[in-house]
């Protein structure tokens, strides 16, 4: 994974077990609100991992047009996601860009485990890079795997 400069490092909040579902999902926000980047991250995850294979029709709506050619059949994305699940918060870059968020796909020893932030904990992960598109008023996925730095994203139109 790309080593981010110190100023671009995540907050340092880690993961600890949490039996209270309301507490564990407090950061996720309203998943019916298209202005919530986690709504797009969850919809993307569900469309990629659909039971009958990737839901290409919905994925076309969820991904940036500039990234579409790189996705292929989404089988590589399925491999990257593997047994990972979404963390409940999409973080902005430390440089403050309002139109970029990073949703984390994390792997936990127990897939049924809930966690909440509280200190540093390392888990295997991948990053979903999201970009807000003002013309549509929606967040779109631009990449999965490594962080995509804001300056490496296409103009947000």
- C-alpha dist (Å) from residue 18 to 23, 24, 86, 108: 7, 6, 15, 13
Given this model, what pLDDT does residue 2 score? 57
φ and ψ at 51, to 5 degrees?
A: -55, -40
E strands along the chain, which residues?
16-17, 85-91, 100-106, 115-116, 125-133, 138-145
CATH 1.10.10 fits 15-107+116-152, yes or no: no
Per-residue pLDDT tens, the chain, 157 aa: give them. 555 565 655 554 444 444 555 544 556 777 878 789 999 999 999 999 999 999 999 999 999 999 999 999 999 999 999 888 888 889 999 899 999 999 999 886 665 555 554 555 555 689 999 999 999 999 999 999 999 999 999 998 8
Q: Which of 134, 125, 139, 126 is nearest to 63 (CA)?
A: 139
Stated pTM of the model: 0.77
What residue spans define the domains of the chain?
A: 15-107+116-152
């Amino acid at each position: 994974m790309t080593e981010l400069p110190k100023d671009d490092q995540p907050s340092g909040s880690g993961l600890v077990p949490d039996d209270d579902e309301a507490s564990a999902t407090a950061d996720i926000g309203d998943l019916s609100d298209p202005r919530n980047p986690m709504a797009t991250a969850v919809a993307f995850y569900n469309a990629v991992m659909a039971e009958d294979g990737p839901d290409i029709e919905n994925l076309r709506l969820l991904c940036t047009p500039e990234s579409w050619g790189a996705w292929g059949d989404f089988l590589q994305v399925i491999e990257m996601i593997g047994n990972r699940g979404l963390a409940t918060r999409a973080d902005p870059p430390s440089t403050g860009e309002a139109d970029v968020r990073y949703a984390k796909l994390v792997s936990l020893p127990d897939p049924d485990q809930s966690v909440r932030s509280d200190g540093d904990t390392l888990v295997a992960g991948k990053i979903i890079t999201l970009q807000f598109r003002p013309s549509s008023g929606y967040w779109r996925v631009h990449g999965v795997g490594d962080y995509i730095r804001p300056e490496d994203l296409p103009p947000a139109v």
